[in-house]
A and B are shown apart, each in its own frame.
With several copies, the nearest count.
Chain A
């Protein structure tokens, strides 16, 4: 799965995208985000509070309990502030 990060999440992790293998026991977005947190100090810091994050699977906003299914891209970002 491709992971993409935006805005303050991108800055905190220090990457705009990276690849990750989805563990068999990671069924939801929340499961996978918990795994990604373990990658580094920066990941842990950026992702520890899921309530302050928003997620999109293949360009569609989803909640953290959404099933990963066959999605190819998970985006993690703070609440949007356009307009």
Chain B
């Protein structure tokens, strides 16, 4: 089971992950990214590159399933305006044993951060907005998997 989904509407982590529970494996690992209240932020806006987004997320899932014995892997990413406290991304993997799912989940979210064509703009309570800068620490974490 490999699944990529881009959603304009709110995402429910448990619904996204439900299929992974039934694959016969003993391990399900997941990561959910949530909009943080970083001092005056009331929402973020996510722009993406339709077509390339899906292709790049599928490539990441293919890379993960080539590297680890996975029974399934899924990524759901929200786009558009996302309010503080709402999930932005859900990554989940299932495997027979836990090591594979735990590592593959970290791999997928780390690589997504530097390879998938999404751009985040913070909207502040005072009505202003600002593009978020990429972080050097994200590059460093993604490099661990090369």
Q: Are any A and B Cβ atoms less than 8 Å apart in their complex? A: yes
* CB contact list, B56-95 vs A, under 8 A: 56, 77, 88-89
With A6-B47, A82-B112, A83-B109 already in contact, the answer to whether A75 and B118 are too (CB < 8 A) is no
Q: How many chain A residues touch the partner (CB < 8 A)?
A: 16
Select which of B77, B131, B133 is within 8 A of A82 by beta carbon. B77
A64 CB, min distance to chain B CBs, angstroms: 17
Q: Are B49 and A82 in contact (CB under 8 A)?
A: no
Binding site for B on A (CB under 8 A): 4, 6-8, 56, 59-61, 75, 77-83
Besides A59-B51, A75-B117, A79-B114, 15 more A-B contacts (Cβ < 8 Å) are: A6-B117, A6-B119, A8-B131, A56-B52, A59-B49, A59-B52, A78-B119, A79-B134, A80-B116, A80-B117, A81-B118, A81-B119, A82-B89, A82-B118, A83-B116
